[in-house]
Amino acid sequence: MQEKRRRRLERIAWELRGDIVAMVANAKSGHCGGPLGLAEVFSVLYFHSMRHDAKKPLWRERDRLYLSNGHVCAVLYAALARSGYFPPEELLSFRKLGSRLQGHPHRNERIGIETTAGMLGQGLSVSVGAALAARLDKSKRRVYCVASDGECQEGSTWEAAMAASNYNLSNLTLLIDYNNVQISGHVSEVMRLEPFAAKWKAFGWNVLEARGNDVESVAQAIEKAKLEKSRPTAIICRTTLGKGVSFMEDNPEWHGKPPDAEQARRALEEISERLEKL
């Protein structure tokens, strides 16, 4: 990746973090930790890897992004706003009555939201259907699904995984947010997933790993997934919950807790300091 492109994607990721903190703090409810940890993943998806056009949101050949862990939607909304799907000012309507930006996504393709989410463990199944539909359409569009590590404790995820490999859905890429945190605590203490990569391989998937808070690592993994022609790809993205805000990082308390005014000020100050260095 060219240095100029890498630095641009890094800057966008930190701008997304600022949006996330502002949105959740203004709403006084919502999830901060997961969205902050996914900033680099969404920067790469929307500003480097995916084919999409905010001016043509219903373009039939656009790549699809299905967010399975819907509670992290603040990062999706921030990426969509910065991509031009709606004015950034609308982000402050997050979780407000009548807003298009609810606490869990509600399908609205005109602003880039491809599916409704909320019940965990369902997004991969939706993505399998979308990937099959693309094949039937003889379309080159690709399907991306973002899911959480905690969702992989659910049987529905593995049913979908089995179907995806059975149908050789090489146009499907799953990005798993492996931050080892869920609402009850650390994933490894609630219900361990390891050997995680081996499980996906046993289900017939191409398995890649990425440093989820490194834009170049994420971009390289996605490009490798595009080269796979016979099976779906799972990219295990090792991220840090609350990345970029020192008092939130790897702290399960921040899975679903909004910052108060002082905490938001401190968080935005840390993010601004990082942006000044980019």
Radius of gyration for the alpha carbons in the chain, expressed in angstroms and rounded? 17
CA distance 256 to 251: 11
pTM: 0.97
Which residue range forms the structural domain that includes residue 152?
A: 3-276
What is the average pLDDT score of the chain? 97
At 119 the pLDDT is: 87
Q: How do residues 182-209 score in pLDDT, each as one tens digit?
A: 999 999 999 999 999 999 999 999 999 9
Sign of CA dihedral 35, 273, 257, 96: negative
Q: What percent of the chain has pLDDT over 90?
A: 98
**CA dist list (Å): 79 to 116, 169, 188, 252:** 17, 26, 30, 24
**Which pLDDT band, with edges at 50, 70 and 90, does 1 fall under?**
confident
Q: Within 13 A of 242's CA, how many CA atoms are on the CB side?
A: 22
User: What number is the average pLDDT over the span 161-169?
Assistant: 98
Indicate the number of domains in the chain.
1
pLDDT for residue 52: 98
Higher-pLDDT residue of 119 and 270 is 270
**What is the distance between the alpha carbons of residues 196 and 174, in angstroms, rounded to a whole number?**
14
Q: What is the pLDDT of residue 118?
A: 85
> How confident is residue 172, by pLDDT bands cut at 50, 70 and 90?
very high
Share of the chain above pLDDT 70, in %: 100
> What per-residue confidence (pLDDT) applies to 226?
98
Task: Evaluate the omega torsion of the peptide bond into residue 195 and state whether it is cis, within 30 degrees of 0.
Answer: yes
Q: What is the pLDDT of residues 119-150, one digit of tens each?
A: 899 999 999 999 999 999 999 999 999 999 99
Q: Name the residue with tokens 């807003």.
A: 99
The pLDDT assigned to 155 comes to 96
What residues does 181 pair with on adjacent strands? Answer: 186
CA distance 35 to 52: 21
Instruction: Write the CATH number for 126.
Output: 3.40.50.970
